[in-house]
Chain A
Amino acid sequence: MKPIFAALLLSLFSSLAAADSTLLVEDAWVREAPPGARMLAAYMTLKNPTAQDLVLTGVDSPAFNHVMLHKSEVVDGVARMLHQDSILIPAGGNIELKPGSYHLMMPAPEQRLVEGDKVVFELNLEDQACVQVQAEVRKKP
């Protein structure tokens, strides 16, 4: 890629990440899934540097029909997934969306996503703010 394009892309991405909200999002990624997988998961770190709690109420994405907030947990040796209506990011705190815990769940699109592909998520907060974040498809546990 020519440097000028790289710079343009970079500025585009940082402006996406720095939308006019107070929620910071880091390290967003979607797990590459096998052929035939019907559901995908996405992960990221949500940071709230403000003095007020922030509440993530929903996520949209042009890449997926719908995006659900989920949490996996293992209780007495049994793994289960629980739908979350919202996720609270405490004032000054972080919430990590990570394997085996909070995550986004999306139906897999018709065109299979593979390592290196990029998708955009729009994170909707209770205070009407919307944060756009770009996530990369990665092949990892």
Chain B
Amino acid sequence: VLLAAVLLAGCNPPPPPQLSKATQLPSPKPVTDFRLIDHNSKPFTRERLQGTWTFVFFGYTHCPDVCPTSLTMLGQVQKTLEQSAPDELPQVLFISVDPERDSVEQLARFTPYFHPTFLGVTGEPDEIQRLSRQLGILYMRTEGESTDDYLVDHSAAIMLFDPDGRFHAVFSAPHEPESMASDYLAMKNWYEVK
């Protein structure tokens, strides 16, 4: 009976991990093609989500409160992970919902401040939407005092992609670095033994 139980356990995939903040998608969602550009002026396409875990946060550099808070927390997550597994750090993307003002140069100045590994990504508005729509990310410009002085409402969630480039899990706001790091490691370990 014991042997049978062991065999059975060997055949069944392990149950999904218990997570404190993240929500895993019932089945990870592949994304279709998009064409963006990173802050090093290199094309950023669907292929660059392959072979690594990727955290994605959508925001804009004129945002003084919510975006720096979330990016600082992601920086803390990355620092925590550096201590446990420095060789397999996830990719962290800050994708602009304000491509009119967030140029490649602007993102290159802004993004690495939060962690040297972070990558700012921008592109044509249509291409950003092509990706954001697939993830259920919403954003809309709101009135400002002038044409160059507007705000952008945007989804506050942080998304996680698995190394197969699929949308795997979502972290809803408010974000908390400790639980994000431990949830990420739990999903990563589960994914590797699965």
Query: Which residues of A are in contact with B by a Cβ distance under 8 Å?
Result: 31, 33-41, 70, 72, 74, 77-81, 99-100, 103, 105-106, 140-141
Contact = CB atoms under 8 A, between A and B. Distances in A.
A100 B64 contact: no
Interface in B113-132: 113-114
B110 A37 contact: yes
Interface of B: 61-66, 68-69, 72-73, 76, 106, 109-111, 113-114, 138, 142, 151, 153-157, 172-174
Instruction: List 7 tightest A-B contacts by C-beta distance, closest first.
Output: A36-B109, A34-B113, A80-B153, A39-B64, A141-B72, A79-B156, A41-B64
Contacts, number: 82
B174 to A, nearest CB: 6
A80 B151 contact: yes
12 contacts: A31-B68, A36-B110, A40-B64, A77-B173, A78-B138, A79-B66, A79-B154, A80-B151, A81-B63, A100-B173, A100-B174, A103-B65
A123 B61 CA distance: 27
Contacts of B172: 77
A36 B62 CA distance: 9
A106 B69 CA distance: 16
Contacts of B157: 77
Contacts of B66: 72, 74, 79, 81, 99-100
B92 to A, nearest CB: 14
Most buried by B among A70, A77, A140: A77
Contacts of B61: 34, 36-38
Given A74-B173, A141-B73, A37 B156 contact: no
A105 B64 contact: yes
B155 A35 contact: no
Given A77-B138, A79-B173, 15 more contacts: A31-B64, A34-B68, A34-B111, A35-B113, A36-B110, A41-B64, A79-B154, A79-B155, A79-B156, A81-B151, A99-B69, A106-B64, A140-B72, A141-B72, A141-B73
A105 B72 contact: no
Contact of B65 (A35, A100, A140): A100
Nearest to A70: B65
A78 B151 CA distance: 13
Given A79-B155, A140-B72, A141-B69, A35 B64 contact: no
B177 to A, nearest CB: 8
B109 A78 contact: no
B156 A77 contact: yes
Contacts of B109: 34-36
Contacts of A74: 66, 156, 173-174
Nearest to A105: B64
Contacts of A99: 65-66, 69
Contacts of A39: 62-64
Contacts of A140: 72
Nearest to B102: A36
B105 to A, nearest CB: 8
